[in-house]
Structure 1
Amino acid sequence: MSDANQNHDKKFQDPNIAINRVYTRKGDAGTTRLVGGQKVMKSAARIETYGTVDELNAVVGAARQTIAEVYAGQPGFEGLSGQLFKVQHQLFNLGSVLATLPEDVGPMMPRVDADDVAELEALIDQYNQDCPPLRSFVLPGGTRLNVELHLARTVCRRAERLAVGLGESEEVDPQAIAYLNRLSDAFFVWSRWASIAAGSDEVLWDPNV
């Protein structure tokens, strides 16, 4: 890749961290530090919010692993895995900015932005074209990947609720909330697409079961 392309592709600063040991004993009193150095309780709303984003990242990783183990070589699944991989990096960007007080956020600090939200909307439309109209609500099931993507959807919704709650008392980038909102919709559509692409019937809600 040429230097010109590297500069064009680089939107945020590279990580500047050194992890030399896993435990430090500094959090035994129930506190942790934000990116700007401020000490806060681990029960703080900001910590709960970006911790849930981290949890979501792990669930997305599980879905990607399922694709690698079960659907390798099957049409469309490599593309879905690539989209989920990009989401994992974007979630880390989101967690980074959530772990930083607004006054400490620099112009090159990783974050999600309006372009990321627009890209999710385009992906939702693209994958939804392959899904038939719904005649009922769907239940997680049919395939393991479907369930994992639904799990990602529900964790994403929780992260969105926490971000909204955090925004009631502290400043939160509105693009962060918009991103989580669209991402949960994307997980729903991806769960449906994955079942259909795998040849599995969707599990529909029947209130009379």
Structure 2
Amino acid sequence: MGYRLSKIYTKTGDKGETGLADGRRVGKDHPRVEAMGELDLLNSHLGLLLAELAEHQAKWPGLSEIIEVLAPCQHRLFDLGGELAMPAYQALDEAEVQRLEAAIDRWNEEVGALENFILPGGSRLIAQAHVCRSLARNAERRCQHLNAVEPLREVGMAYVNRLSDLLFVAARLIARRQQIDEVLWQAAAKPEA
């Protein structure tokens, strides 16, 4: 692959606009740019989760499978960002959504049914997986906002939705494999009448 960027700063965005790959210039607050930014934020936090999982896999070997499933997601998020930057570009396919669904089903069988609401916590790894899950939901909302203005391919919308589900189950699986109790939500005491 040749050089993609020969110069990091271009000064073309100094007035609040950015260029899309199709040549359009849009405001940096345009729904397309907002969606791309949320995907980038999610991808960055997913990278942090993967780095922390790798640091701990010697202690908890069961984390290796989670890494194997989540690592390709960074590439697919980058692909989806490419689709948003270049509307004619199509990288994601239904097989990627199915890959996530298969992992969700497999992991969910191991962790069992959810009997109570859980909170993000218990360990740094669990909490980081929940950060990624919530960022995936943010990205999904931004993509849906864009979709209302400029329709997107259904596979991209489905991918972000399944990724959020996968990250939720991953957080539960990390807890199980670290042998840490999930933090269960406790409702506030009702005031006495």
| TM category, shorter | over 0.9
State the match for 2:27 in structure 1.
41
Compare 82-91 and 15-24 and name the one that shifted more: 15-24
Selected match of 1:163 from 112, 135, 143: 143
Q: State the Cα distance separating 1:16 from its structure 2 match.
A: 6.2
Partner Cα separation in structure 2 for residue 118 and residue 148 of structure 1:
24
Amino acid at match of 1:41: G
**Number of matched residues?**
189
State the match for 1:150 in structure 2.
130
Q: State the Cα distance separating 1:55 from its structure 2 match.
A: 0.4
Matches within 5 A, 1:1-209: 18-72=4-58, 74-101=60-87, 105-106=88-89, 109=90, 111-208=91-188
Task: Compute the TM-score of the two structures, normalised by the length of structure 1.
Answer: 0.86
1:83-136 deviation per Cα after TM superposition (whole angstroms, max 9, x unaligned): 2210000000010001123xxx14xx4x22211111110010011111032221
Q: From the superposition, tell whether residues 121 and 71 of structure 1 become closer, same or farther in structure 2 (CA, over 3 Å).
A: same
Partner Cα separation in structure 1 for residue 141 and residue 119 of structure 2:
21
Partner Cα separation in structure 2 for residue 133 and residue 172 of structure 1:
33
Partner Cα separation in structure 1 for residue 64 and residue 35 of structure 2:
30
Question: Unmatched 5+ residue regions in structure 1?
Answer: 1-14
Task: Compute the TM-score of the two structures, normalised by the length of structure 2.
Answer: 0.93
Q: State the Cα distance separating 1:165 from its structure 2 match.
A: 1.1
Secondary structure, counterpart of 1:129 in structure 2: helix
Q: Percent identity?
A: 37
Secondary structure, counterpart of 1:32 in structure 2: strand
Amino acid at match of 1:35: A
Secondary structure, counterpart of 2:111 in structure 1: coil
Question: Unmatched 5+ residue regions in structure 2?
Answer: none
Compare 146-155 and 125-134 and name the one that shifted more: 125-134
Partner Cα separation in structure 2 for residue 52 and residue 121 of structure 1:
22
Secondary structure, counterpart of 2:149 in structure 1: coil
Amino acid at match of 2:152: V
Let me know the Cα RMSD of the aligned residues.
1.5
1:18-65 deviation per Cα after TM superposition (whole angstroms, max 9, x unaligned): 212221111101111111121111110000001100100001001011
Compare 64-73 and 188-197 and name the one that shifted more: 64-73
